[in-house]
Amino acid sequence: MAYDEGVAQRVREHLQSRSDITERKMFGGLAFMAHGHMFIGILGDRLMVRVGPDDYAKALSQAHVQEMDFTGRPMRGYVYVEPDGFESDAQLESWVNQGYAFVGALPPKLSK
């Protein structure tokens, strides 16, 4: 599955001031990484956001958000956000910041 380049560009614009971000094609989509951890990605026209276990239920209670079940089983701590859930720049920025904040609290992944 491809990813929506327009959505990718919008995410890049919100991340342009951060120098610790890398992009990686993963899962047939595009993932944005900080400190070696994926925190937001695009699969088709949906966002994949890593919200963490503590904010998982809160995220799922929002409109246009559902469990991320990429493997056929829900991935706790990750959600899909449909395009209507990040239509405005403020909504998109909120999701980007939420994912970034979660992985910022994790220890950096060591390179292989």
CATH class for the region spanning 5-104: alpha beta
Task: Tell me the mean pLDDT in the region 18-29.
Answer: 91
110 pLDDT higher than 80 = no
Task: Tell me the mean pLDDT in the region 61-70.
Answer: 93
CB atoms within 10 A of CB 42: 22
pTM above 0.75, yes or no: yes
C-alpha span between 18 and 27 (Å, rounded): 24
CB-CB contact of 24 with 2 (8 Å)? no
C-alpha span between 2 and 23 (Å, rounded): 15
Residue range 95-105, pLDDT digits in tens = 999 999 999 99
Query: Any idea where the domains of the chain sit in the sequence?
Result: 5-104
Mean pLDDT, the chain, integer: 93
Type of residue at 62: Q
Q: What is the pLDDT of residue 109?
A: 83
The dihedral through the CA atoms of 90, 42, 99, 51 has a sign that is positive
H-run or E-run covering 40 = strand 37-43
